[in-house]
Amino acid sequence: MARCVHLLSHLLLLLAAAGPASAATLEVLMQQADGRPVADAVVTLQGPAGAAAVVSSAEMDQRSQRFAPHVLAVHTGTQVRFPNSDNIRHQVYSFSTAKRFELRLYEGTPTAPLLFDKPGVVVLGCNIHDWMLGYIYVTDDPHFGVSDAQGRVRLEQLTPGDYRATVWHPQLADLQPMDGGTLHIPAAGLSHRMLLTLEPASADLPPAPTAFGDAFNRAARETAQ
Ligand SMILES: [Cu+2]
Protein backbone atom coordinates (compact mmCIF):
# COMPACT_ATOMS: atom_id res chain seq x y z
CA MET A 1 0.00 0.00 0.00
CA ALA A 2 2.74 2.40 0.98
CA ARG A 3 4.51 1.61 -2.28
CA CYS A 4 1.29 2.30 -4.18
CA VAL A 5 0.88 5.73 -2.55
CA HIS A 6 4.50 6.48 -3.28
CA LEU A 7 4.00 5.64 -6.98
CA LEU A 8 0.88 7.76 -7.11
CA SER A 9 2.58 10.80 -5.62
CA HIS A 10 5.44 10.31 -8.03
CA LEU A 11 2.98 10.24 -10.91
CA LEU A 12 1.27 13.41 -9.66
CA LEU A 13 4.64 15.15 -9.48
CA LEU A 14 5.33 14.15 -13.06
CA LEU A 15 1.94 15.45 -14.18
CA ALA A 16 2.49 18.72 -12.33
CA ALA A 17 5.86 19.11 -13.99
CA ALA A 18 4.34 18.40 -17.39
CA GLY A 19 1.64 21.05 -16.93
CA PRO A 20 3.18 24.31 -18.07
CA ALA A 21 5.73 22.62 -20.33
CA SER A 22 2.95 20.98 -22.37
CA ALA A 23 1.64 24.33 -23.65
CA ALA A 24 2.36 24.14 -27.35
CA THR A 25 2.96 26.83 -29.95
CA LEU A 26 1.51 26.93 -33.44
CA GLU A 27 3.26 28.92 -36.14
CA VAL A 28 1.32 29.41 -39.34
CA LEU A 29 2.81 30.79 -42.52
CA MET A 30 0.19 32.26 -44.85
CA GLN A 31 1.17 32.29 -48.49
CA GLN A 32 -0.26 32.60 -51.97
CA ALA A 33 0.45 29.78 -54.41
CA ASP A 34 3.44 31.68 -55.83
CA GLY A 35 5.02 31.95 -52.36
CA ARG A 36 4.17 35.59 -51.67
CA PRO A 37 3.37 36.09 -47.95
CA VAL A 38 -0.20 37.02 -47.05
CA ALA A 39 -0.50 39.71 -44.39
CA ASP A 40 -3.73 40.48 -42.51
CA ALA A 41 -4.99 36.88 -42.63
CA VAL A 42 -6.93 35.73 -39.57
CA VAL A 43 -6.55 32.19 -38.28
CA THR A 44 -8.83 30.94 -35.51
CA LEU A 45 -8.76 27.61 -33.68
CA GLN A 46 -11.34 25.48 -31.97
CA GLY A 47 -9.93 22.61 -30.01
CA PRO A 48 -9.50 20.76 -26.74
CA ALA A 49 -10.44 22.76 -23.68
CA GLY A 50 -7.58 24.86 -22.40
CA ALA A 51 -6.62 28.35 -21.46
CA ALA A 52 -8.27 30.58 -24.02
CA ALA A 53 -6.61 33.83 -24.94
CA VAL A 54 -9.73 35.92 -24.47
CA VAL A 55 -9.01 39.64 -24.60
CA SER A 56 -11.90 41.88 -23.65
CA SER A 57 -10.68 45.15 -25.14
CA ALA A 58 -8.95 46.14 -28.36
CA GLU A 59 -8.19 49.18 -30.48
CA MET A 60 -8.82 50.15 -34.09
CA ASP A 61 -6.83 53.32 -34.76
CA GLN A 62 -6.89 55.70 -37.69
CA ARG A 63 -3.48 56.84 -38.91
CA SER A 64 -2.57 58.68 -42.11
CA GLN A 65 -6.15 58.28 -43.29
CA ARG A 66 -6.06 54.51 -43.00
CA PHE A 67 -7.40 52.06 -40.44
CA ALA A 68 -4.64 50.63 -38.26
CA PRO A 69 -4.53 47.70 -38.15
CA HIS A 70 -6.12 46.97 -41.51
CA VAL A 71 -7.59 43.78 -39.99
CA LEU A 72 -8.35 43.37 -36.30
CA ALA A 73 -9.45 40.01 -34.88
CA VAL A 74 -11.37 40.01 -31.60
CA HIS A 75 -13.27 37.52 -29.50
CA THR A 76 -17.06 37.90 -29.35
CA GLY A 77 -17.87 40.27 -26.49
CA THR A 78 -14.84 42.52 -26.94
CA GLN A 79 -15.02 46.27 -26.39
CA VAL A 80 -13.23 48.09 -29.21
CA ARG A 81 -11.97 51.65 -28.89
CA PHE A 82 -11.63 53.82 -32.00
CA PRO A 83 -8.91 56.38 -31.36
CA ASN A 84 -8.08 58.85 -34.11
CA SER A 85 -4.35 59.55 -34.40
CA ASP A 86 -4.84 61.89 -37.35
CA ASN A 87 -5.25 65.62 -36.80
CA ILE A 88 -8.29 65.61 -39.07
CA ARG A 89 -11.78 64.33 -38.36
CA HIS A 90 -13.08 60.93 -39.35
CA GLN A 91 -16.59 59.55 -39.37
CA VAL A 92 -16.31 55.79 -38.98
CA TYR A 93 -19.28 53.58 -39.81
CA SER A 94 -20.26 50.02 -40.65
CA PHE A 95 -23.34 48.58 -42.36
CA SER A 96 -22.35 44.99 -41.52
CA THR A 97 -24.98 42.84 -39.82
CA ALA A 98 -22.51 41.74 -37.12
CA LYS A 99 -22.23 45.41 -36.02
CA ARG A 100 -24.04 48.39 -37.47
CA PHE A 101 -22.82 51.74 -36.14
CA GLU A 102 -21.72 55.24 -36.92
CA LEU A 103 -19.28 57.37 -34.96
CA ARG A 104 -20.17 60.97 -35.71
CA LEU A 105 -17.39 63.27 -36.97
CA TYR A 106 -14.73 63.17 -34.34
CA GLU A 107 -11.16 63.93 -33.42
CA GLY A 108 -9.35 61.98 -30.72
CA THR A 109 -10.86 58.91 -29.04
CA PRO A 110 -14.62 58.69 -28.54
CA THR A 111 -15.27 58.26 -24.82
CA ALA A 112 -17.20 54.98 -25.04
CA PRO A 113 -15.80 51.90 -26.75
CA LEU A 114 -18.15 49.82 -28.89
CA LEU A 115 -19.15 46.29 -27.94
CA PHE A 116 -18.76 43.64 -30.65
CA ASP A 117 -21.12 40.96 -29.43
CA LYS A 118 -21.89 38.98 -32.60
CA PRO A 119 -19.46 36.82 -34.56
CA GLY A 120 -18.89 37.86 -38.16
CA VAL A 121 -17.04 40.24 -40.42
CA VAL A 122 -17.49 43.95 -39.74
CA VAL A 123 -16.44 46.12 -42.67
CA LEU A 124 -15.40 49.63 -41.63
CA GLY A 125 -15.58 52.75 -43.73
CA CYS A 126 -15.25 56.50 -43.26
CA ASN A 127 -17.87 58.90 -44.58
CA ILE A 128 -15.26 61.57 -45.27
CA HIS A 129 -12.55 59.43 -46.86
CA ASP A 130 -14.07 56.93 -49.27
CA TRP A 131 -10.89 54.91 -49.68
CA MET A 132 -10.59 54.09 -45.97
CA LEU A 133 -11.39 50.43 -45.51
CA GLY A 134 -10.83 48.28 -42.44
CA TYR A 135 -12.11 45.04 -40.99
CA ILE A 136 -12.95 43.68 -37.58
CA TYR A 137 -13.26 39.90 -37.55
CA VAL A 138 -15.32 38.80 -34.55
CA THR A 139 -14.94 35.15 -33.61
CA ASP A 140 -16.34 32.72 -31.03
CA ASP A 141 -13.18 30.62 -31.29
CA PRO A 142 -10.93 30.79 -28.22
CA HIS A 143 -7.63 31.10 -30.10
CA PHE A 144 -6.96 33.52 -32.92
CA GLY A 145 -4.34 35.74 -34.52
CA VAL A 146 -3.64 37.90 -37.56
CA SER A 147 -0.67 37.39 -39.89
CA ASP A 148 2.09 40.00 -39.98
CA ALA A 149 3.79 41.45 -43.07
CA GLN A 150 5.78 38.20 -43.43
CA GLY A 151 2.55 36.18 -43.39
CA ARG A 152 3.24 34.74 -39.94
CA VAL A 153 0.78 34.04 -37.13
CA ARG A 154 1.96 32.67 -33.80
CA LEU A 155 -0.46 31.17 -31.30
CA GLU A 156 0.99 30.24 -27.93
CA GLN A 157 -0.12 28.42 -24.80
CA LEU A 158 -2.12 25.80 -26.68
CA THR A 159 -3.05 22.50 -25.07
CA PRO A 160 -1.60 19.79 -27.32
CA GLY A 161 -4.30 18.07 -29.37
CA ASP A 162 -6.42 18.32 -32.48
CA TYR A 163 -7.71 21.72 -33.52
CA ARG A 164 -10.14 22.84 -36.18
CA ALA A 165 -8.73 25.84 -38.05
CA THR A 166 -10.67 28.58 -39.81
CA VAL A 167 -9.00 31.16 -42.03
CA TRP A 168 -10.26 34.55 -43.11
CA HIS A 169 -8.86 37.35 -45.24
CA PRO A 170 -10.58 40.40 -46.79
CA GLN A 171 -9.60 39.17 -50.26
CA LEU A 172 -11.13 35.70 -49.93
CA ALA A 173 -14.11 35.25 -52.25
CA ASP A 174 -17.29 36.92 -50.93
CA LEU A 175 -15.56 37.78 -47.63
CA GLN A 176 -16.31 34.23 -46.50
CA PRO A 177 -14.16 32.33 -43.99
CA MET A 178 -12.36 29.25 -45.28
CA ASP A 179 -12.00 25.87 -43.61
CA GLY A 180 -8.37 25.56 -42.56
CA GLY A 181 -8.60 21.82 -41.85
CA THR A 182 -7.66 19.87 -38.75
CA LEU A 183 -4.29 20.56 -37.19
CA HIS A 184 -2.70 18.05 -34.88
CA ILE A 185 -0.57 20.12 -32.54
CA PRO A 186 1.88 18.03 -30.52
CA ALA A 187 3.48 19.21 -27.27
CA ALA A 188 6.59 20.14 -29.25
CA GLY A 189 4.56 22.63 -31.31
CA LEU A 190 3.81 22.82 -35.00
CA SER A 191 4.86 24.90 -37.99
CA HIS A 192 2.22 24.88 -40.66
CA ARG A 193 1.89 26.51 -44.07
CA MET A 194 -1.50 27.56 -45.44
CA LEU A 195 -2.18 28.52 -49.03
CA LEU A 196 -4.69 31.27 -49.76
CA THR A 197 -6.19 32.24 -53.09
CA LEU A 198 -6.88 35.95 -53.01
CA GLU A 199 -9.08 38.21 -55.09
CA PRO A 200 -7.55 41.51 -56.25
CA ALA A 201 -7.25 44.06 -53.43
CA SER A 202 -9.22 47.26 -53.33
CA ALA A 203 -7.01 50.24 -52.52
CA ASP A 204 -7.27 51.70 -49.05
CA LEU A 205 -4.85 54.52 -49.78
CA PRO A 206 -5.66 58.16 -50.34
CA PRO A 207 -6.05 58.82 -54.07
CA ALA A 208 -3.00 60.33 -55.75
CA PRO A 209 -3.06 64.12 -56.07
CA THR A 210 -5.39 64.94 -58.93
CA ALA A 211 -3.45 67.77 -60.59
CA PHE A 212 -1.65 65.36 -62.91
CA GLY A 213 -4.83 63.32 -63.52
CA ASP A 214 -6.82 66.45 -64.36
CA ALA A 215 -4.16 67.74 -66.76
CA PHE A 216 -3.92 64.26 -68.30
CA ASN A 217 -7.69 64.02 -68.80
CA ARG A 218 -7.88 67.53 -70.25
CA ALA A 219 -5.07 66.72 -72.69
CA ALA A 220 -6.81 63.47 -73.62
CA ARG A 221 -10.13 65.26 -74.26
CA GLU A 222 -8.44 67.94 -76.33
CA THR A 223 -6.60 65.32 -78.34
CA ALA A 224 -9.88 63.49 -78.97
CA GLN A 225 -11.58 66.62 -80.34
CU1 LIG B 1 -11.80 59.52 -42.52
User: Is residue 60 located within the same domain as residue 29?
Assistant: no
How far does the centroid of ligand 1 lie from the alpha carbon of residue 84, in Å? 9
CATH code of the domain covering residue 79 = 2.60.40.420
pLDDT tens track, the chain, 225 positions: 444 444 444 444 444 444 445 789 999 999 999 999 999 999 999 998 766 656 789 999 999 999 999 999 999 999 999 999 999 999 999 999 999 999 999 898 888 999 999 999 999 999 999 999 999 999 999 999 999 999 999 999 999 999 999 999 999 988 999 999 999 999 999 999 999 999 988 766 666 655 444 554 455 445 444
Q: Is residue 127 part of a domain?
A: yes
Q: Is residue 116 part of a domain?
A: yes
How far does the centroid of ligand 1 lie from the alpha carbon of residue 39, in Å? 23
User: Is residue 132 located within the same domain as residue 152?
Assistant: no
Q: Is residue 17 part of a domain?
A: no
C-beta separation of 103 from 83 below 8 A: no
CATH code of the domain covering residue 154 = 2.60.40.10
For residue 129, CA distances in Å to 60, 62, 84, 212, 221 come to 16, 11, 14, 20, 28
Q: Specify the DSSP element, H or E, that contains 217.
A: helix 210-224
* Average pLDDT value over all residues in the chain: 85
How far does the centroid of ligand 1 lie from the alpha carbon of residue 127, in Å? 6
User: Is residue 82 located within the same domain as residue 104?
Assistant: yes
pLDDT digits 0-9 by tens, 108-148: 888 899 999 999 999 999 999 999 999 999 999 999 999 99
User: Is residue 99 located within the same domain as residue 151?
Assistant: no
Query: How many folded domains does the chain comprise?
Result: 2
Range of the domain at 135: 54-141
How far does the centroid of ligand 1 lie from the alpha carbon of residue 116, in Å? 21
102 Cβ partners below 8 Å, 6+ apart? Answer: 91, 92, 93, 94, 127
Measured CA to CA, the distance from residue 160 to residue 93 in angstroms comes to 40
Sign, Cα dihedral of 143, 149, 152, 155: negative
What integer pLDDT is reported at residue 118 of this predicted model? 96
203 Cβ partners below 8 Å, 6+ apart? Answer: 131
Q: Is residue 209 part of a domain?
A: no
